[in-house]
Protein backbone atom coordinates (compact mmCIF):
# COMPACT_ATOMS: atom_id res chain seq x y z
CA UNK A 1 0.00 0.00 0.00
CA UNK A 2 2.88 2.37 0.70
CA UNK A 3 5.93 1.35 -1.34
CA UNK A 4 7.15 4.23 -3.47
CA UNK A 5 4.87 6.80 -1.83
CA UNK A 6 6.03 10.18 -0.52
CA UNK A 7 4.96 11.39 2.92
CA UNK A 8 5.80 14.88 4.14
CA UNK A 9 5.62 15.28 7.92
CA UNK A 10 5.30 18.61 9.66
CA UNK A 11 6.24 18.47 13.33
CA UNK A 12 4.88 21.11 15.69
CA UNK A 13 6.18 22.26 19.05
CA UNK A 14 4.94 19.81 21.67
CA UNK A 15 6.22 16.97 23.83
CA UNK A 16 4.27 14.54 21.62
CA UNK A 17 6.87 15.19 18.89
CA UNK A 18 8.83 12.21 20.22
CA UNK A 19 6.07 9.86 19.01
CA UNK A 20 6.60 10.99 15.44
CA UNK A 21 10.16 9.66 15.48
CA UNK A 22 8.86 6.10 15.80
CA UNK A 23 6.43 6.70 12.94
CA UNK A 24 9.19 8.03 10.66
CA UNK A 25 11.25 4.91 11.27
CA UNK A 26 8.33 2.55 10.61
CA UNK A 27 7.31 4.36 7.44
CA UNK A 28 10.84 4.10 6.09
CA UNK A 29 10.80 0.35 6.82
CA UNK A 30 7.62 -0.06 4.76
CA UNK A 31 9.11 1.58 1.69
CA UNK A 32 7.79 5.11 2.16
CA UNK A 33 9.98 8.10 1.32
CA UNK A 34 9.71 10.56 4.22
CA UNK A 35 10.73 14.20 4.41
CA UNK A 36 10.25 16.32 7.52
CA UNK A 37 9.62 19.98 8.32
CA UNK A 38 10.25 21.12 11.89
CA UNK A 39 8.81 24.35 13.18
CA UNK A 40 11.02 26.54 15.33
CA UNK A 41 9.15 25.35 18.42
CA UNK A 42 9.48 21.69 17.43
CA UNK A 43 13.27 22.00 17.62
CA UNK A 44 12.94 22.59 21.35
CA UNK A 45 11.78 18.97 21.68
CA UNK A 46 13.59 17.00 18.95
CA UNK A 47 16.49 17.92 16.71
CA UNK A 48 16.77 18.02 12.91
CA UNK A 49 19.61 15.48 13.24
CA UNK A 50 17.25 12.97 14.85
CA UNK A 51 14.61 13.07 12.14
CA UNK A 52 17.09 13.29 9.28
CA UNK A 53 18.80 10.15 10.59
CA UNK A 54 15.51 8.28 10.82
CA UNK A 55 14.13 9.48 7.46
CA UNK A 56 17.41 9.33 5.51
CA UNK A 57 16.59 12.82 4.20
CA UNK A 58 17.60 16.31 5.18
CA UNK A 59 15.27 17.79 7.81
CA UNK A 60 13.95 21.22 6.83
CA UNK A 61 13.53 24.22 9.12
CA UNK A 62 12.65 27.86 8.64
CA UNK A 63 16.35 28.53 8.13
CA UNK A 64 16.20 26.89 4.69
CA UNK A 65 12.87 28.56 3.91
CA UNK A 66 14.40 32.04 3.88
CA UNK A 67 17.48 31.10 1.85
CA UNK A 68 17.82 31.73 -1.88
CA UNK A 69 17.31 28.68 -4.08
CA UNK A 70 16.61 27.91 -7.72
CA UNK A 71 13.00 27.06 -6.85
CA UNK A 72 11.10 27.92 -3.66
CA UNK A 73 11.42 25.13 -1.09
CA UNK A 74 7.75 25.15 -0.08
CA UNK A 75 6.74 24.65 -3.73
CA UNK A 76 9.15 21.74 -4.17
CA UNK A 77 8.01 19.99 -1.00
CA UNK A 78 4.32 20.62 -1.68
CA UNK A 79 4.53 19.11 -5.16
CA UNK A 80 6.60 16.14 -3.92
CA UNK A 81 4.18 14.94 -1.25
CA UNK A 82 1.50 12.28 -1.73
CA UNK A 83 0.33 12.91 1.83
CA UNK A 84 1.06 15.63 4.35
CA UNK A 85 0.94 14.66 8.03
CA UNK A 86 1.07 17.38 10.68
CA UNK A 87 1.75 15.95 14.14
CA UNK A 88 1.63 17.16 16.76
CA UNK A 89 -0.72 19.89 15.58
CA UNK A 90 -0.48 22.74 18.08
CA UNK A 91 -3.18 25.29 18.88
CA UNK A 92 -1.08 27.93 17.14
CA UNK A 93 -0.70 26.01 13.88
CA UNK A 94 -4.34 24.92 14.02
CA UNK A 95 -5.43 28.55 14.06
CA UNK A 96 -3.19 29.37 11.10
CA UNK A 97 -4.47 26.45 9.03
CA UNK A 98 -8.10 27.16 9.81
CA UNK A 99 -7.82 30.68 8.39
CA UNK A 100 -5.25 30.04 5.66
CA UNK A 101 -2.41 31.98 7.27
CA UNK A 102 1.16 31.24 6.22
CA UNK A 103 4.15 32.68 8.07
CA UNK A 104 6.65 29.81 8.18
CA UNK A 105 7.84 26.88 6.06
CA UNK A 106 5.21 24.46 7.33
CA UNK A 107 2.17 26.66 6.73
CA UNK A 108 3.44 27.94 3.38
CA UNK A 109 3.97 24.35 2.23
CA UNK A 110 0.39 23.51 3.20
CA UNK A 111 -0.90 26.22 0.87
CA UNK A 112 1.52 25.20 -1.88
CA UNK A 113 0.45 21.55 -1.81
CA UNK A 114 -2.58 19.75 -3.19
CA UNK A 115 -2.35 16.39 -1.44
CA UNK A 116 -4.52 15.14 1.44
CA UNK A 117 -3.52 16.45 4.87
CA UNK A 118 -3.76 14.35 8.03
CA UNK A 119 -3.62 16.24 11.32
CA UNK A 120 -3.16 14.94 14.87
CA UNK A 121 -3.56 17.61 17.57
CA UNK A 122 -1.86 17.50 20.96
CA UNK A 123 -2.20 20.03 23.75
CA UNK A 124 -3.20 20.62 27.35
CA UNK A 125 -6.84 19.78 28.11
CA UNK A 126 -7.77 23.35 29.00
CA UNK A 127 -6.22 24.56 25.75
CA UNK A 128 -8.08 21.94 23.72
CA UNK A 129 -11.41 22.81 25.34
CA UNK A 130 -11.13 26.54 24.71
CA UNK A 131 -14.07 27.71 22.56
CA UNK A 132 -11.69 29.45 20.16
CA UNK A 133 -9.70 26.24 19.62
CA UNK A 134 -12.86 24.21 19.10
CA UNK A 135 -14.13 26.76 16.58
CA UNK A 136 -10.86 26.48 14.66
CA UNK A 137 -11.07 22.68 14.82
CA UNK A 138 -14.58 22.65 13.38
CA UNK A 139 -13.63 25.18 10.72
CA UNK A 140 -10.63 23.12 9.63
CA UNK A 141 -12.79 20.05 9.07
CA UNK A 142 -14.98 21.94 6.61
CA UNK A 143 -12.03 21.77 4.20
CA UNK A 144 -12.19 18.34 2.53
CA UNK A 145 -8.40 18.19 2.25
CA UNK A 146 -8.10 17.66 5.98
CA UNK A 147 -8.43 14.27 7.62
CA UNK A 148 -8.40 14.36 11.40
CA UNK A 149 -7.29 12.21 14.30
CA UNK A 150 -8.83 13.63 17.44
CA UNK A 151 -6.74 13.75 20.62
CA UNK A 152 -7.47 11.05 23.15
CA UNK A 153 -7.86 11.12 26.92
CA UNK A 154 -5.33 10.18 29.55
CA UNK A 155 -2.53 11.53 31.70
CA UNK A 156 -0.81 14.41 29.93
CA UNK A 157 2.79 15.55 30.28
CA UNK A 158 1.54 18.52 32.32
CA UNK A 159 0.11 16.01 34.88
CA UNK A 160 -3.42 16.93 33.87
CA UNK A 161 -5.75 13.99 33.19
CA UNK A 162 -8.06 14.69 30.29
CA UNK A 163 -8.38 14.94 26.52
CA UNK A 164 -5.35 16.22 24.66
CA UNK A 165 -3.00 13.28 24.08
CA UNK A 166 -1.85 12.86 20.50
CA UNK A 167 -2.83 9.54 18.97
CA UNK A 168 -0.23 6.79 19.20
CA UNK A 169 2.24 5.86 16.42
CA UNK A 170 0.37 2.63 15.55
CA UNK A 171 -2.78 4.60 14.76
CA UNK A 172 -0.81 7.25 12.90
CA UNK A 173 0.70 4.49 10.76
CA UNK A 174 -2.68 2.90 10.00
CA UNK A 175 -4.17 6.25 9.01
CA UNK A 176 -1.21 7.17 6.82
CA UNK A 177 -1.29 3.80 5.04
CA UNK A 178 -5.03 4.04 4.50
CA UNK A 179 -4.92 7.58 3.11
CA UNK A 180 -2.02 6.74 0.83
CA UNK A 181 -4.26 4.07 -0.69
CA UNK A 182 -7.37 6.26 -1.05
CA UNK A 183 -5.45 9.41 -2.04
CA UNK A 184 -7.92 11.25 0.16
CA UNK A 185 -11.08 10.29 -1.73
CA UNK A 186 -14.29 10.13 0.32
CA UNK A 187 -16.43 7.85 -1.82
CA UNK A 188 -18.47 6.72 1.19
CA UNK A 189 -19.15 10.20 2.53
CA UNK A 190 -22.56 10.35 4.18
CA UNK A 191 -22.88 6.56 4.36
CA UNK A 192 -23.39 4.59 7.59
CA UNK A 193 -21.38 1.38 7.70
CA UNK A 194 -22.24 -1.21 10.35
CA UNK A 195 -19.54 -3.78 11.13
CA UNK A 196 -19.24 -6.67 13.51
CA UNK A 197 -15.88 -8.11 14.45
CA UNK A 198 -14.04 -10.25 16.93
CA UNK A 199 -15.32 -13.47 18.44
CA UNK A 200 -18.15 -14.25 20.82
CA UNK A 201 -17.93 -16.15 24.09
CA UNK A 202 -20.75 -18.39 25.30
CA UNK A 203 -20.43 -19.01 29.01
CA UNK A 204 -21.13 -22.25 30.85
CA UNK A 205 -20.45 -20.60 34.21
CA UNK A 206 -18.66 -17.40 35.30
CA UNK A 207 -15.21 -18.75 34.31
CA UNK A 208 -15.74 -21.18 31.43
CA UNK A 209 -16.95 -20.49 27.92
CA UNK A 210 -17.11 -21.80 24.36
CA UNK A 211 -15.18 -19.43 22.11
CA UNK A 212 -12.81 -19.05 19.19
CA UNK A 213 -9.46 -17.34 18.48
CA UNK A 214 -10.85 -14.33 16.57
CA UNK A 215 -9.18 -11.05 17.58
CA UNK A 216 -11.24 -8.49 15.67
CA UNK A 217 -8.34 -7.27 13.51
CA UNK A 218 -10.36 -7.67 10.30
CA UNK A 219 -13.31 -5.73 11.68
CA UNK A 220 -10.99 -3.01 12.95
CA UNK A 221 -9.32 -2.77 9.53
CA UNK A 222 -12.69 -2.45 7.79
CA UNK A 223 -13.65 0.31 10.22
CA UNK A 224 -10.39 2.16 9.58
CA UNK A 225 -10.82 1.97 5.81
CA UNK A 226 -14.44 3.11 6.04
CA UNK A 227 -13.60 6.11 8.24
CA UNK A 228 -10.84 7.19 5.88
CA UNK A 229 -13.26 6.99 2.94
CA UNK A 230 -15.70 9.36 4.64
CA UNK A 231 -18.21 6.98 6.22
CA UNK A 232 -19.78 7.02 9.65
CA UNK A 233 -18.97 3.70 11.33
CA UNK A 234 -20.56 1.60 14.04
CA UNK A 235 -18.38 -1.34 15.06
CA UNK A 236 -19.90 -4.06 17.25
CA UNK A 237 -16.93 -5.90 18.70
CA UNK A 238 -17.22 -9.24 20.47
CA UNK A 239 -15.14 -10.97 23.11
CA UNK A 240 -12.64 -9.59 25.60
CA UNK A 241 -9.88 -8.76 23.09
CA UNK A 242 -9.21 -5.03 23.08
CA UNK A 243 -8.99 -3.26 19.74
CA UNK A 244 -7.60 0.21 19.05
CA UNK A 245 -10.19 2.96 19.06
CA UNK A 246 -10.21 5.10 15.94
CA UNK A 247 -9.97 8.72 17.15
CA UNK A 248 -12.66 10.04 14.84
CA UNK A 249 -15.99 11.70 15.65
CA UNK A 250 -17.54 9.40 13.04
CA UNK A 251 -16.57 6.18 14.84
CA UNK A 252 -18.65 4.40 17.47
CA UNK A 253 -17.57 1.21 19.25
CA UNK A 254 -20.07 -1.11 20.92
CA UNK A 255 -18.49 -3.88 22.98
CA UNK A 256 -20.37 -7.14 23.53
CA UNK A 257 -19.48 -10.60 24.79
CA UNK A 258 -22.04 -13.17 23.67
CA UNK A 259 -23.70 -13.95 20.37
CA UNK A 260 -27.06 -12.87 21.80
CA UNK A 261 -25.64 -9.46 22.74
CA UNK A 262 -24.15 -9.07 19.28
CA UNK A 263 -27.46 -10.09 17.70
CA UNK A 264 -29.36 -7.41 19.61
CA UNK A 265 -26.77 -4.69 18.85
CA UNK A 266 -26.64 -5.50 15.14
CA UNK A 267 -30.41 -5.54 14.74
CA UNK A 268 -30.73 -2.25 16.61
CA UNK A 269 -28.36 -0.42 14.22
CA UNK A 270 -29.12 -2.28 11.00
CA UNK A 271 -32.09 -0.15 9.85
CA UNK A 272 -29.88 2.94 9.40
CA UNK A 273 -26.94 1.10 7.80
CA UNK A 274 -26.18 1.57 4.12
CA UNK A 275 -23.55 -1.19 4.20
CA UNK A 276 -23.22 -3.97 6.76
CA UNK A 277 -20.02 -6.02 7.01
CA UNK A 278 -20.23 -9.27 9.00
CA UNK A 279 -16.61 -10.10 9.79
CA UNK A 280 -17.15 -11.44 13.33
CA UNK A 281 -16.64 -15.09 14.23
CA UNK A 282 -20.01 -15.63 15.90
CA UNK A 283 -20.68 -18.80 17.86
CA UNK A 284 -23.10 -21.29 16.32
CA UNK A 285 -24.03 -22.89 19.65
CA UNK A 286 -23.97 -22.12 23.35
CA UNK A 287 -24.37 -24.19 26.54
CA UNK A 288 -28.03 -25.02 27.06
CA UNK A 289 -27.76 -24.15 30.74
CA UNK A 290 -25.81 -21.41 32.51
CA UNK A 291 -24.71 -21.68 36.12
CA UNK A 292 -24.39 -18.44 38.07
CA UNK A 293 -21.76 -20.13 40.26
CA UNK A 294 -18.59 -21.84 39.15
CA UNK A 295 -19.31 -25.50 38.61
CA UNK A 296 -17.07 -27.97 40.44
CA UNK A 297 -15.09 -30.02 37.96
CA UNK A 298 -16.98 -33.17 38.89
CA UNK A 299 -20.30 -31.50 38.01
CA UNK A 300 -19.31 -30.59 34.46
CA UNK A 301 -21.16 -33.08 32.25
CA UNK A 302 -19.10 -35.24 29.90
CA UNK A 303 -21.68 -34.56 27.23
CA UNK A 304 -22.39 -30.84 27.38
CA UNK A 305 -25.95 -29.98 26.29
CA UNK A 306 -25.88 -27.28 23.60
CA UNK A 307 -28.45 -25.07 21.95
CA UNK A 308 -28.27 -22.94 18.80
CA UNK A 309 -27.78 -19.18 18.92
CA UNK A 310 -29.76 -16.79 16.77
CA UNK A 311 -28.31 -16.38 13.27
CA UNK A 312 -27.30 -12.74 12.73
CA UNK A 313 -26.54 -13.00 9.01
CA UNK A 314 -29.73 -14.88 8.17
CA UNK A 315 -31.88 -12.45 10.14
CA UNK A 316 -30.33 -9.40 8.53
CA UNK A 317 -30.64 -11.04 5.12
CA UNK A 318 -34.40 -11.34 5.64
CA UNK A 319 -34.75 -7.73 6.82
CA UNK A 320 -32.45 -6.21 4.20
CA UNK A 321 -33.99 -3.44 2.12
CA UNK A 322 -33.20 -2.91 -1.59
CA UNK A 323 -30.94 0.08 -0.87
CA UNK A 324 -28.86 -1.84 1.67
CA UNK A 325 -25.75 -3.92 0.96
CA UNK A 326 -24.96 -6.92 3.15
CA UNK A 327 -21.48 -8.48 3.11
CA UNK A 328 -20.63 -11.70 4.93
CA UNK A 329 -17.43 -13.54 5.75
CA UNK A 330 -16.88 -17.30 5.67
CA UNK A 331 -13.86 -18.77 7.45
CA UNK A 332 -13.35 -22.23 5.98
CA UNK A 333 -10.86 -25.07 5.66
CA UNK A 334 -10.36 -27.25 2.61
CA UNK A 335 -12.70 -26.30 -0.25
CA UNK A 336 -13.59 -22.83 1.02
CA UNK A 337 -15.29 -21.36 -2.06
CA UNK A 338 -18.27 -23.71 -2.49
CA UNK A 339 -19.50 -23.45 1.13
CA UNK A 340 -19.12 -19.66 0.97
CA UNK A 341 -21.16 -19.42 -2.21
CA UNK A 342 -23.88 -21.58 -0.65
CA UNK A 343 -23.88 -19.44 2.49
CA UNK A 344 -24.23 -16.27 0.41
CA UNK A 345 -27.33 -17.63 -1.33
CA UNK A 346 -28.85 -19.16 1.80
CA UNK A 347 -28.57 -15.98 3.86
CA UNK A 348 -29.38 -13.47 1.11
CA UNK A 349 -25.99 -11.76 1.16
CA UNK A 350 -24.84 -9.42 -1.60
CA UNK A 351 -21.18 -10.41 -1.24
CA UNK A 352 -19.20 -12.88 0.80
CA UNK A 353 -15.50 -12.98 1.63
CA UNK A 354 -14.26 -16.57 1.61
CA UNK A 355 -11.26 -16.97 3.92
CA UNK A 356 -9.04 -20.09 3.92
CA UNK A 357 -7.99 -20.30 7.58
CA UNK A 358 -5.93 -23.49 7.21
CA UNK A 359 -3.06 -21.83 5.36
CA UNK A 360 0.26 -20.87 6.89
CA UNK A 361 -0.33 -17.12 6.58
CA UNK A 362 -3.44 -15.09 7.28
CA UNK A 363 -6.48 -16.09 9.28
CA UNK A 364 -7.22 -15.60 12.96
CA UNK A 365 -4.93 -13.23 14.84
CA UNK A 366 -2.82 -12.35 11.82
CA UNK A 367 -2.25 -8.85 10.45
CA UNK A 368 -2.58 -10.32 6.94
CA UNK A 369 -5.28 -12.15 5.04
CA UNK A 370 -6.09 -13.72 1.69
CA UNK A 371 -9.47 -14.53 0.26
CA UNK A 372 -11.82 -14.79 -2.67
CA UNK A 373 -14.62 -12.22 -2.76
CA UNK A 374 -17.83 -13.55 -4.29
CA UNK A 375 -20.84 -11.49 -5.41
CA UNK A 376 -24.42 -12.63 -5.92
CA UNK A 377 -24.26 -11.37 -9.50
CA UNK A 378 -21.48 -13.86 -10.22
CA UNK A 379 -18.46 -11.71 -9.38
CA UNK A 380 -15.36 -13.56 -8.20
CA UNK A 381 -12.20 -11.72 -7.24
CA UNK A 382 -9.17 -13.45 -5.79
CA UNK A 383 -7.17 -11.37 -3.31
CA UNK A 384 -3.61 -12.61 -2.66
CA UNK A 385 -1.99 -12.33 0.76
CA UNK A 386 -2.01 -8.70 1.88
CA UNK A 387 -2.61 -6.67 5.00
CA UNK A 388 -6.12 -6.75 6.40
CA UNK A 389 -6.30 -2.99 5.93
CA UNK A 390 -5.50 -3.37 2.24
CA UNK A 391 -8.06 -6.17 1.95
CA UNK A 392 -10.66 -3.85 3.49
CA UNK A 393 -9.96 -1.25 0.82
CA UNK A 394 -10.14 -3.87 -1.95
CA UNK A 395 -13.55 -4.85 -0.59
CA UNK A 396 -14.77 -1.25 -0.58
CA UNK A 397 -13.46 -0.77 -4.12
CA UNK A 398 -15.57 -3.72 -5.22
CA UNK A 399 -18.83 -2.85 -3.48
CA UNK A 400 -18.65 0.85 -4.33
Q: Could you tell me the residue ranges of all domains in the chain?
A: 6-182, 192-399
Q: Which of 282, 370, 375, 364 is nearest to 326 (CA)?
A: 375
Percent share of the chain, pLDDT over 70:
99
Spell out the residues 6+ positions from residue 269 whose beta carbon is closer than 8 angstroms to its own.
Answer: 194, 234, 236, 254
DSSP-derived 3-state class of residue 164: strand
Average pLDDT along the chain: 94
Q: Which of 252, 271, 246 is nearest to 196 (CA)?
A: 252
Spell out the residues 6+ positions from residue 12 whose beta carbon is closer than 8 angstroms to its own.
Answer: 39, 41, 42, 86, 87, 88, 89, 90, 92, 93, 106, 122
Question: pLDDT grade, residue 138 (50/70/90)?
Answer: very high
Q: Is the pLDDT of residue 158 over 80?
A: yes
Q: Is the pLDDT of residue 183 over 80?
A: yes
Full-model pTM: 0.93
Q: Is the pLDDT of residue 351 over 70?
A: yes
Q: Is the pLDDT of residue 273 over 90?
A: yes
What average pLDDT does the segment 140-152 reach? 95
Question: pLDDT grade, residue 84 (50/70/90)?
Answer: very high
What average pLDDT does the segment 114-137 reach? 96
What average pLDDT does the segment 270-276 reach? 98
> What's CA 2's distance to the chain center, in Å?
16
Q: Which of 115, 158, 371, 386 is catalytic?
A: 158
Active site residue 21: no
Question: pLDDT grade, residue 314 (50/70/90)?
Answer: very high
Q: Do domains 6-182 and 192-399 have the same CATH topology?
A: yes
Q: Is the pLDDT of residue 362 over 70?
A: no
Residues present in the chain in total: 400
DSSP-derived 3-state class of residue 181: helix
pLDDT of 357: 78
DSSP H stretches of helix in the chain: 17-29, 48-55, 62-65, 73-80, 91-99, 105-111, 125-128, 131-141, 169-182, 217-228, 259-269, 312-319, 337-346, 388-399
Q: Which is more confidently placed, 365 or 235?
A: 235
- Give yes or no for a contact between 217 and 388, defined as CB atoms under 8 angstroms apart: yes
- String of DSSP letters for 225-254: HHHHTT-EEEEEEESS---PPP--TTEEEE
Q: Name the superfamily (CATH) of residues 192-399.
A: CoaB-like (3.40.50.10300)
Q: Is the pLDDT of residue 2 over 70?
A: yes
Q: Which of 222, 231, 295, 311 is nearest to 263 (CA)?
A: 311
What average pLDDT does the segment 282-308 reach? 94
* pLDDT (tens digit per residue) in 332-343: 888 889 999 999
* pLDDT (tens digit per residue) in 370-392: 999 999 999 899 999 999 999 99
Q: Is the pLDDT of residue 68 over 80?
A: no
Q: Is 172 exposed, middle or buried (0-12, 13-18, 19+ CB in 10 A)?
A: buried
Q: Is the pLDDT of residue 360 over 80?
A: no
The CATH code of domain 6-182 reads 3.40.50.1950
Q: Is the pLDDT of residue 123 over 70?
A: yes
Amino acid sequence: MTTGKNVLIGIGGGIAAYKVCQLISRLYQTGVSVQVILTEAAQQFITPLTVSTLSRHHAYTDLEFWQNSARPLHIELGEWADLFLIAPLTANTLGKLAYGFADNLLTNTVLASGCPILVAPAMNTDMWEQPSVQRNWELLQQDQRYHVLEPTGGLLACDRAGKGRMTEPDQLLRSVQSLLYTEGKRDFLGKHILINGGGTQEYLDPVRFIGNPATGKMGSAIAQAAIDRGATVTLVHGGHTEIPLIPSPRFRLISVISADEMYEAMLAHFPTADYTMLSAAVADVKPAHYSTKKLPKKEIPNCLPLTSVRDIAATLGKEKQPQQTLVGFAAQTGDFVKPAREKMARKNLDYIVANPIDRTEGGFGSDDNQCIILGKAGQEQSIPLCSKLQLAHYLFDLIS
